[in-house]
Amino acid sequence: MRKLGLAIVLATLFAFSISAGAQAALQNAFLGKEVEVKIDMPATQQGVDLNFSSGQPLDWRQYSQRIKQFGIALRKGDTPTVTAVVVKKDRIEFQLDGGGYGTFWDDTSGVSARTIGKSNYERQLENDLNRETDPRRRDQLRRELDRERGRREREQWAENSRAAIANQIKQQEIAGKRLQGGSRFNLRWSGRIPEADLTPEAVMQRLAPWVGFAGTRDSQNVFAPNAPAPRAPAADNPVQLQRGMKKSAVEAILGKGQMLTQNTSGDGLRSSEYRYATQDNLIDVTYVEDVLVRYSISSR
């Protein structure tokens, strides 16, 4: 048993040393280099899974679901930088432009409404009503209790509305961060990674259908002559809108807009979409309870 245990420990250490050495070699080969992606990359740390223990490495259904759920962080033809190469027991993570939003340190939580509890006055009214036997006094206590409960319910509705608005604003912010957070390829195998696949040449060969390595360069140099041009930066916000602005503040800047849609959700929140026209732009704004939660700007 001691010999068996020692053999297991030695095998584990040997496998760990191979993994560490392979990771160092892959990092030296790829870190800071730009590559060309041949497919759109989902805006999530889940990235694109490639299972090399199956006949078809890319599960197109799973890939499509991630694109639909999270949007696109890197588009086909983009030239992201390799920012990390991580070797684990059964996979190699090939991270691009940050590896995707949603890792341990990224905030993906929502905003919850605070529960408005019963006041001491409401509890006292309930106790008094339970003890009271006089019909007229009971009617009076019941009316007071109804008013106090109504006050609490109105306060709870206002808190629910505040949380719903804050949650929509935060989810829009997270969606924006996802689009800027890069993505990754996860090269997967059943069991351990074959040693033959732990070299830079093998990784490039495995990724070749989805990643272009020809003409890769260090990220600090200028674009190679045949490389795609960089994406143009997003246009500046010409009217300085911000999520959380009141509708009255938006209209003080843009004037009255044209209402495109209006509806009320099942929990009573009113949302609407307005279009504003300036000399150069069309601005579409979505409000929830007259608070700006989303906007888009396009040239006329």
Q: Tell me the pLDDT band of 225, cut-offs 50, 70 and 90.
A: very low
Do 168 and 283 lie in one domain? The reply is no
Do 166 and 191 lie in one domain? The reply is no
Burial level of 30, CB count in 10 A (0-12/13-18/19+)?
A: buried
Q: Is 148 contained in some domain?
A: yes
More confident residue, 140 or 219: 140
d(CA 194, CA 190): 10
Q: Is 223 contained in some domain?
A: no
Burial level of 192, CB count in 10 A (0-12/13-18/19+)?
A: exposed
Work out how many domains the chain is built from and give that number.
3
pLDDT at 202: 95
Asked if residue 229 has pLDDT above 80, the reply is no
Instruction: Classify strands 36-37 and 211-212 as parallel, antiparallel or unpaired.
Output: antiparallel
Give Cα 198 distance to the centre of its chain: 31
Do 58 and 187 lie in one domain? The reply is yes
pLDDT at 227: 41
Averaged pLDDT for residues 175-193 = 88
Averaged pLDDT for residues 32-55 = 93
What are residue 298's DSSP bridge partners? 282
pLDDT at 47: 96
Do 205 and 72 lie in one domain? The reply is yes
More confident residue, 2 or 260: 260
Last residue of a domain, one of 166, 188, 212: 212
Do 171 and 27 lie in one domain? The reply is no
pLDDT at 10: 39
Q: Is 78 contained in some domain?
A: yes
d(CA 279, CA 299): 9
What are residue 72's DSSP bridge partners? 42
Which run of H or of E encompasses 70? helix 60-70
Q: Is 231 contained in some domain?
A: no
Percentage of residues in the chain with pLDDT exceeding 90? 52
Last residue of a domain, one of 191, 212, 233: 212
Q: Is 235 contained in some domain?
A: no
Q: Is 232 contained in some domain?
A: no
Do 18 and 137 lie in one domain? The reply is no
Averaged pLDDT for residues 204-215 = 90
Q: Is 110 contained in some domain?
A: no
Last residue of a domain, one of 162, 194, 212: 212
Do 90 and 8 lie in one domain? The reply is yes
Q: Is 218 contained in some domain?
A: no
More confident residue, 221 or 241: 241
Q: Which pTM does this prediction carry?
A: 0.56
Averaged pLDDT for residues 218-247 = 54
Do 73 and 193 lie in one domain? The reply is yes
Are 85 and 128 within 8 A, CB to CB?
A: no
Asked if residue 267 has pLDDT above 70, the reply is no
Whose CA is closest to 179, among 30, 32, 40, 33?
Answer: 40
pLDDT at 82: 92
Q: Tell me the pLDDT band of 2, cut-offs 50, 70 and 90.
A: low
Do 24 and 40 lie in one domain? The reply is yes
d(CA 213, CA 215): 6
Helix residue ranges, H only, 113-238: 120-131, 135-179, 200-207
Burial level of 299, CB count in 10 A (0-12/13-18/19+)?
A: exposed
Range of the domain at 286: 247-299
pLDDT in tens, 58-113: 999 999 999 999 999 999 999 999 998 999 989 999 999 989 988 766 777 888 89
